[in-house]
Each structure stands twice: as C-alpha cells, then as structure tokens.
Structure 1
Amino acid sequence: MSGADQVDALYQEIILDHYKHPHGEGLREPFGAEVHHVNPTCGDEITLRVHLDDDTIADVSYAAEGCSISQASTSVLYDLVHGKDVTTAFGVLEEFQALMQGKGNVEPDEEVLEDGIAFAGVARFPARVKCALLAWMAFKDAATQAGAGTATDAFQEGR
C-alpha cells in the first residue's frame, strides 16, 4: 500500500468514525437561531441551531439525515466551532470551504481543520462537495441570524 493509499484509508476511517459516533448531535436549547437546509441533489437534510454567548459559539446542535459524508462533516463542524469565538469559527468555515472548493488541489491546514482534513479527497468529487458543505452553510446562516453578523463583518473587513 502506497503512502497516498494509506492517507486515503486513514481519512476514510476518520469520516466513518464521525459518521458512526457523531459529536454534538441532537437539538438543544437555548438557541439564538435555527435553520433547515436541504441538499436537493441527494436529499441530505439538516436542522441546525446556534447559541451565542456574546461573541462565543456556546453551542451548535443539530438533527441531520443523509450520507456518511454530510453526517461526518456535521460532526467535525461541531468539534471545530463549538466554544470558539465567532471570528475564529468563521475563519475555520472559510478554510473548510476553500478546501472543498479546491477540487483536490488545496493542501489542508491540519492545525486549523483537525479532522476536517479527512475531507480533502471529497473535494475531487463535485457531487459530494455539497454533501460536505451542507452543515457548514447551515452554520453560517444560523450564526449570522443569531447575531454573529457584527463579528463576521469585522472578520471580512480584516481581510
């Protein structure tokens, strides 16, 4: 088995682990905003809630149905943004989005994305990119609705 094959196998293992043992699953209260997103291409669905405490993502809770990629991506999202300040969380979102839209040509930053690097191979399959991004786009909408807009405006202006 080549080094690349070993990495792909490890990434598949990470995705399957998050799929089988999702982190942060279940809808919780309190929450500042709730959104429902559907991927019409494949039927994946998510209802996602965001609770802010000042400029901190105090909680992200969700109920989701779909393929292993969308489910695992949601679990990874929870790990990467829960407890972070809004600016950091939106920075992680931007990094994950760049990875997914890079068609397999973006080198993931493991320090920022942690288990999210496992989705690097998914970026080579355009039909699956929407699956991986479903929860992230729902998070962006819910966080903005919950009042993260001022922090994300500052993030955008700082770029």
Structure 2
Amino acid sequence: MPTYSDDILRLAEANMVPLLPGEPTVELANRLCGDRIIIAAAVQVGGALEIHWQAEGCAILKASAAYLARTLKGISREAALQRVSEFMRTFEVEAKSTPEGPLAPVYKLPARYKCALLPWQACENFLRERR
C-alpha cells in the first residue's frame, strides 16, 4: 500500500479550518522534516468543539490534521481528550492489529508516525493547557 493513498491525498487537500485573529493556539514542529502545525479549538454552544488548524508540511501531516478536525468536531473537551488518547495509542508498539481508516498506510511506516501524531499531540497540549 503506498504511503500517499487516495484517502491520505484527499484528506491532505481538505481545507484547513482557519485560525481566528487573537485566538489562543498551540504550535508544534518537527525540526527534522519541517512539519509545522498550529492548533486552536473554539468551544461552540453546548460545549462542542471545533478544531481550527493551520499546517505546513507533508501530506500525512495535513491529512492527519484534517482527520483530527473531522473526528473531534462537535464533541466535548473531555470526549476529545479521550479520542486523542485512543488515536495516539494506536501507534504504540504493542498495538495488536493495524487500525483501518484513512491513515492506515502510515501504521506500516514507523518513520512517519511523527507526521501523523503531530496534530494530535498539539491538540492534546491545547486542550490540557486551556482547561
């Protein structure tokens, strides 16, 4: 299965949810490859989240950020932290099987894990810092 599957390329082309001026953000970067992500989360009526993001880097980084925003849209901060934790655990060495979904090709490429995890780590940092 190629690294840049059709699912990854489609997600990577998804529009970023633009950051709002003056909005608190968290930024993470991978200095080795140049990937950079800025994350913010707007809390909507009823406590539902909307993830705002801006990314520079590879298709895996952008696809993962788009998948993050789609996965967490409309859920609570607590539920979002749970989903982030669950997603990040899928990349642990002890994982018994390769998860399915749009980022499945990345699980076979340990050198690219950082690309996929960077948006999720930034989101976790943001959600924990902004309690």
- Aligned partner of 1:27: which letter? L
What stretches of structure 1 of length at least 5 have no aligned partner? 1-7, 111-116, 148-159
Does the 8 A contact of 1:16 with 1:72 survive in 2? yes
- Aligned partner of 1:26: which letter? P
TM-score for both structures, normalised by structure 1: 0.70
Q: Does 1:20 align with 2:13?
A: yes
Using a 3 Å threshold, how does the CA distance of structure 1 residues 28 and 86 change in structure 2: closer, same or farther?
A: same
- Aligned partner of 2:13: which letter? K
In structure 1, C-alpha distance between the alignment counterparts of 2:79 and 2:37, rounded to whole Å: 23
Q: Does 1:125 align with 2:117?
A: no
RMSD of the TM alignment (CA)?
2.5
Structure having greater relative contact order (Cα 8 Å, sep ≥ 6): 2
| Structure (1/2) with the larger helix percentage | 1
- Aligned partner of 2:103: which letter? F
- Aligned partner of 2:71: which letter? L
Kindly state the Cα deviation for residue 60 of structure 1 after the two structures are TM-superposed: 1.3
Choose the corresponding residue for 2:129, options 126, 134, 145.
145
Kindly state the Cα deviation for residue 106 of structure 1 after the two structures are TM-superposed: 2.9
Kindly state the Cα deviation for residue 122 of structure 1 after the two structures are TM-superposed: 0.9
Kindly state the Cα deviation for residue 130 of structure 1 after the two structures are TM-superposed: 0.2
Query: Between the two proteins, what is the percent identity of the paired residues?
Result: 28
In structure 2, C-alpha distance between the alignment counterparts of 1:145 and 1:55, rounded to whole Å: 20
Does the 8 A contact of 1:103 with 1:124 survive in 2? no
In structure 2, C-alpha distance between the alignment counterparts of 1:89 and 1:14, rounded to whole Å: 23
TM-score for both structures, normalised by structure 2: 0.83
The equivalent residue for 2:90 is 99
Q: Does 1:48 align with 2:39?
A: yes
- Aligned partner of 1:35: which letter? V
In structure 1, C-alpha distance between the alignment counterparts of 2:71 and 2:106, rounded to whole Å: 18
Does the 8 A contact of 2:49 with 2:72 survive in 1? no
Kindly state the Cα deviation for residue 100 of structure 1 after the two structures are TM-superposed: 2.2
- Aligned partner of 1:73: which letter? S
Kindly state the Cα deviation for residue 19 of structure 1 after the two structures are TM-superposed: 0.8
Query: Which one has the largest radius of gyration?
Result: 1
Q: Give per-residue Cα distances to partners, 1:131-154, cap 9 Å, x unaligned.
A: 00010000001111221xxxxxxx
Q: Give per-residue Cα distances to partners, 1:68-120, cap 9 Å, x unaligned.
A: 00000000000001210122212211221122234874343x6xxxxxx2223
Off by >6 Å, runs of 4+ in structure 1: none
